[in-house]
Amino acid sequence: MRFRNLTIGQHIPGNSVVHRLDPRTKILGTTLLIVLLFAVNGFIGYGLVALAIAGVIHLAKLPWRYVIRGLRPLLVILLLTVGLNVFLTEGEVIFRLWFLTITREGLARGGMMGTRLVLLIVGTSLLTLTTSPIQLTDGIESLLNPFRRLGVPAHELAMMMTIALRFIPTLLEETEKIMKAQMARGADFQSGGLMQRAKSLIPLLVPLFVSAFRRADELAIAMEARGYRGGQGRTKFRELRFGRIDAVAIALLVTFTVVVGVFF
Amino acid sequence: MSIRLENVSFRYLEDTPMETEALLDVTLEIADGEFVGIIGPTGSGKSTLIQHFNGLLLPSSGKVWVDGVDLTHKDTQLRQIRQKVGMVFQYPEHQLFGETVLEDVGFGPRNMGLAEEEVVERVRRALAYVGLDFAELKDQSPFELSGGQKRRVAIAGVLAMEPSVLILDEPTAGLDPKGREEILDEICTLHRERGITVILVTHSMEDVARLVDRLIVMDRGRVALDGTPVEVFRQAETLKELGLGLPQVTELMHELKAKGMAVDTDVLTVEAAEEEIVKALGGQR
Ligand SMILES: Nc1ncnc2c1ncn2[C@@H]1O[C@H](COP(=O)(O)OP(=O)(O)O)[C@@H](O)[C@H]1O
Ligand SMILES: [Mg+2]
């Protein structure tokens, strides 16, 4: 199934240094990466960022092929971005074919945008690949906590995310099961025009919603049965702990971001 | 219609870190008109196996033939195969979607491109097979029926395609004893009267002992045992190792024998057990 290839949001359990970092460190690192990718302007800078990402993948002992394959579902967006930039940028023409012109500036810009997107996708997928959903939401909750006074419902948001993340695989599994069951009755989800295809989704979507509501209901009852009353006074089984490796990691990340961001 | 698997292996999520070997070099043939039971511990590959019988899953390696047609061939029309090999999934009521019972049960026949009258006729017949009344239910919403009725409507949805092979994945899971009994009896009737091939995945040793002609035992993706129920239940040790039991009566006969009573342990029904015990006691009741 297509969405199986999407590595963003997937988690590969492990016990590497990267896996053991505090989720807040990793969230901060990802934020820095995003900032950096927009600050850097030039291939040397991108090369350094790529090296850093490669270093993290290596440290995390992630399978290379698997990480790279995460780009596949986004290939269309990637090609579109690069293509538009290459063909639509004005400047010194170096190649002309019928109505297509390629300019030096266009090539540079297309290459730059493409690299930026690839690094962005691969880099951000590392966060979820090395952090379990629970840790991730714990991290987000803890980072949002200071804003509680401003009325940000930190715990509730985190709980909603935990639940959503928890149920993504379940829903995918359910979708696959129902699709198979309807295919066994001769349903065809692939052929026909737009209207035809939209209509063919009814036998899939109705049972999916019915089961999602049933699950939500059961979950709510199960949570209440275990005394859930929101975040007030709730303690955690797994406390987040900011350790030495986190301090080292953050020092490295910040230094790297500042140096690369300022000089390249 | 016969189904033949040759050296079939199947891996879920191939080429990812989560790859699972669900079937390992399975070779088997199911002949026309057989009533086959498939048992095995959870995760042994039963559901994966049966999805190869109608091309919902294609093997990672190996070949599958249905009625002489090679399913792994790229030109094979899998949709036609699926009409002939009907498949009732576990908890089939979860796949109900129609506004009315008629719409839902008629989904399969409509997808076959049948005329509306023929569709209605088939829905009527299919509902009758599962003991439901067409006139009473056809305009009702399937979501308002009781659990047992929903299950029957869902099974009827597959029967309405009038397949020559019927595969059922734990069709009685979660039903009360009376509902189980009735559904199994209906399946048995279909097999007897219409001669269709039935493949039944189940956890109940009693059910398979009572119903099937042949029993396939799965273990970690392989076929561990394959034979008549009597033959399979003779392998009590192997079954125990797999965490499977014997039918209660068979177990009883084993225990009586261990206590020194001269009984035959190849017994699968209460009636046969009674006869054996009476015989061992010298004929007096
Ligand atoms: N959709 C799936 N994706 C990945 N792994 C699966 C999937 N379905 C089943 N498996 C795995 O394949 C193996 C066999 O499962 P299954 O055929 O469902 O066994 P059974 O029906 O005997 O319980 C199990 O290890 C299971 O975890
Ligand atoms: Mg199963």
Give the mean model confidence (pLDDT) for residues B104-108: 96
Query: How much is the mean pLDDT over chain B?
Result: 93
- pTM of the model as a whole: 0.79
Whether the per-residue pLDDT at B97 is higher than 70: the answer is yes
Give the pLDDT confidence of B253-285 residue by residue, as tens digits.
999 999 988 888 888 888 889 998 998 888 766
Label residue A18 left, alpha or beta by phi (over 0 means left) and psi (-120 to 50 means alpha). Answer: alpha
Here the tokens at position B257 are: 């024998």
As for the ipTM of the complex, it is 0.89
Instruction: Using the mean position of ligand 1's atoms as its centre, give its distance from the Cα of residue A172 in Å.
Output: 15
Whether the per-residue pLDDT at A6 is higher than 60: the answer is no
Q: How far is A186 from chain B (nearest CA, A)?
A: 6
- Between A242 and B84, the higher pLDDT residue: B84
Rounded to 10 deg, the angle between the A43-59 and A244-263 helix axes is 160
Among A88-102, B231-245, B261-275, whose mean pLDDT is lowest?
A: A88-102
Residues in chain B: 285
Contact B101, B139 (CB under 8 A): yes
Whether the per-residue pLDDT at A5 is higher than 70: the answer is no
How many residue pairs from chains A and B have C-beta atoms closer than 8 A?
64
Whether the per-residue pLDDT at A256 is higher than 90: the answer is yes
Which of B18, B20, B39 has most ligand 1 atoms within 8 Å of its beta carbon, as the pocket-test mutant? Answer: B20
Per-residue confidence band for A1, with pLDDT thresholds at 50, 70 and 90: very low
Ligand 1 cavity residues, CB under 6 Å: B 12-13, 20, 22, 40, 42-48
Residue nearest to atom 18 of ligand 1 (CA): B47
Per-residue confidence band for A193, with pLDDT thresholds at 50, 70 and 90: confident
Per the DSSP assignment, residues forming a β-bridge with B39 are B217
Per the DSSP assignment, residues forming a β-bridge with B218 are B223
User: H-helix or E-strand containing A97?
Assistant: strand A93-97
Rounded to 10 deg, the angle between the A154-184 and A202-225 helix axes is 140
Instruction: Using the mean position of ligand 1's atoms as its centre, give its distance from the Cα of residue B22 in Å.
Output: 6
Query: How much is the mean pLDDT over chain A?
Result: 87
Q: Give CA–CA dist A238/B37, Å, rounded.
A: 46
Q: Which residue has the tokens 């009984």?
A: B263
Pairing of strands B165-169, B85-88: parallel
Residue A47, judged by CB atoms within 10 A of its CB (0-12, 13-18, 19+), counts as: middle
Whether the per-residue pLDDT at B26 is higher than 80: the answer is yes
- The DSSP line for A209-253 is HHHHHHHHHHHHHHHHHTT---STT---SS-----HHHHHHHHHH
Q: Give CA–CA dist B161/B146, Å, rounded.
A: 24
Give the pLDDT confidence of A39-90 residue by residue, as tens digits.
888 888 999 999 999 999 999 999 888 888 888 888 888 899 888 888 888 8
Q: How far is A20 from chain B (nearest CA, A)?
A: 19
Per-residue confidence band for A8, with pLDDT thresholds at 50, 70 and 90: low
Looking at chain A, the whole-number percentage of residues with pLDDT higher than 70 is 97
Check A207 against B96: CB less than 8 A apart.
yes
Contact A197, A205 (CB under 8 A): no
Using CB atoms, pick whichever of B56, B95, B112 lies closest to residue A207. B95
φ, ψ (nearest 5 deg) of residue A101: -125, 140
Residues of B in contact with A188 (CB under 8 A): 79, 111
Give, in order, the Cα–Cα distances in Å from A114 to each of A74, A78, A121, A154, B166: 12, 6, 11, 35, 52
Give the pLDDT confidence of B168-198 residue by residue, as tens digits.
999 999 899 999 999 999 999 999 999 999 9
Question: Where do the structural domains in chain A lie, given as residue ranges?
Answer: 10-131+237-264
Per-residue confidence band for A9, with pLDDT thresholds at 50, 70 and 90: low
Q: Where are the beta strands (DSSP E) in chain B?
A: 3-12, 20-30, 35-39, 61-66, 69-70, 85-88, 165-169, 197-201, 214-219, 222-227
Instruction: Using the mean position of ligand 2's atoms as its centre, give its distance from the Cα of residue B90 in Å.
Output: 7
φ, ψ (nearest 5 deg) of residue A25: -60, -45
Check A186 against B51: CB less than 8 A apart.
no
- The DSSP line for B186-244 is HHHHHHHHH--EEEEE-S-HHHHHHH-SEEEEEETTEEEEEE-HHHHHH-HHHHHHTT-
A14: contact with B, CB 8 A cutoff: no
Task: List A residues 181-200 in contact with B (Cβ-Cβ < 8 A).
Answer: 181-188
Whether the per-residue pLDDT at A7 is higher than 60: the answer is no
Helix (H, G, I), strand (E, B) or coil at B35: strand
Check A203 against B97: CB less than 8 A apart.
yes
Whether the per-residue pLDDT at A128 is higher than 90: the answer is no
Instruction: Using the mean position of ligand 1's atoms as its centre, give its distance from the Cα of residue B11 in Å.
Output: 9
Per the DSSP assignment, residues forming a β-bridge with B5 are B28, B64
Check B107 against A177: CB less than 8 A apart.
no
Q: Which protein residues have a CB closer than 5 Å to ligand 2 (ion)?
A: B 47
Give the pLDDT confidence of B207-222 residue by residue, as tens digits.
888 899 999 999 999 9
- Between A238 and B142, the higher pLDDT residue: B142
Whether the per-residue pLDDT at A153 is higher than 50: the answer is yes
Neighbours of B283 (CB within 10 A): 7
Give the mean model confidence (pLDDT) for residues A157-168: 84
- Say which ligand is closest to the CA of B22: 1
Whether the per-residue pLDDT at A137 is higher than 90: the answer is no
Residue nearest to atom 12 of ligand 1 (CA): B22
Q: Give CA–CA dist B157/B122, Å, rounded.
A: 10
Give the pLDDT confidence of A103-117 residue by residue, as tens digits.
888 888 888 889 999
- Alpha-carbon dihedral sign for residues A54, A56, A62, A68: negative
Check B89 against A177: CB less than 8 A apart.
yes
Looking at chain B, the whole-number percentage of residues with pLDDT higher than 90 is 77
**pLDDT given at position A2:** 42
Q: Give CA–CA dist A128/B17, Å, rounded.
A: 15
Helix (H, G, I), strand (E, B) or coil at A96: strand
Sheet holding B20-30, edge to edge: B20-30, B3-12, B61-66, B69-70
B29: contact with A, CB 8 A cutoff: no
